[in-house]
Amino acid sequence: MAVKETHDGPLIAAGIALGVGLGGFVDGILLHQLLQWHNMLSARLPPDNLVAMKINMMWDGLFHVLTWLMTVIGLALLWRAGGREDVPWRGRTLVGGMVLGWGLFNFVEGLIDHQLLGIHHVHPGAYELAWDLGFLGSGLLCIALGIVLVCPARR
């Protein structure tokens, strides 16, 4: 009996896209809306008047459009992977991809928006650099955990 070749890549790709989208939603909903620590442009355009707040809300909305699109892409990739007989369904692989995607979101968004562009910080104030570095660190930790979860499943 021949051994059937399997491919985890489509499931991992779906997980990464879902992780990026859902990680972005957690950031936007928790940090932008519920805790109100920052808005998308709050370090460059402090939301201290109605016009500035409206501009920040519009950019937060555009950010949420991006996270929604990533989630939809992840669902489409998951649907396609589900239709393939050569893609083994492993929860660990999907969850690992999602954790990896969330970590990539945190690290890339933190590096670009917080450090390079400086358009906002996780929690402005006395310890904003510590909060920003913690956000980057959480991204690296999730990336490492995602790789650990995905790799054993690929053997």
Give the distance between the most distant pair of CA atoms in the chain.
71
Q: Check the CA dihedral 102-107-108-109 and report its sign.
A: positive
Tell me what pLDDT residue 152 has: 72
Burial of 87 (0-12, 13-18, 19+ CB in 10 A): buried
pLDDT single digits (tens) 106-133: 999 999 999 999 999 999 999 999 999 9
Tell me what pLDDT residue 89 has: 92
Tell me what pLDDT residue 122 has: 97
Helix (H, G, I), strand (E, B) or coil at 136: helix
**Residue % of the chain over a pLDDT of 90:** 93
Measured between alpha carbons, how far is 140 from 144 in angstroms, rounded to an integer?
6
Tell me what pLDDT residue 5 has: 84
Segments in the chain below pLDDT 50: 154
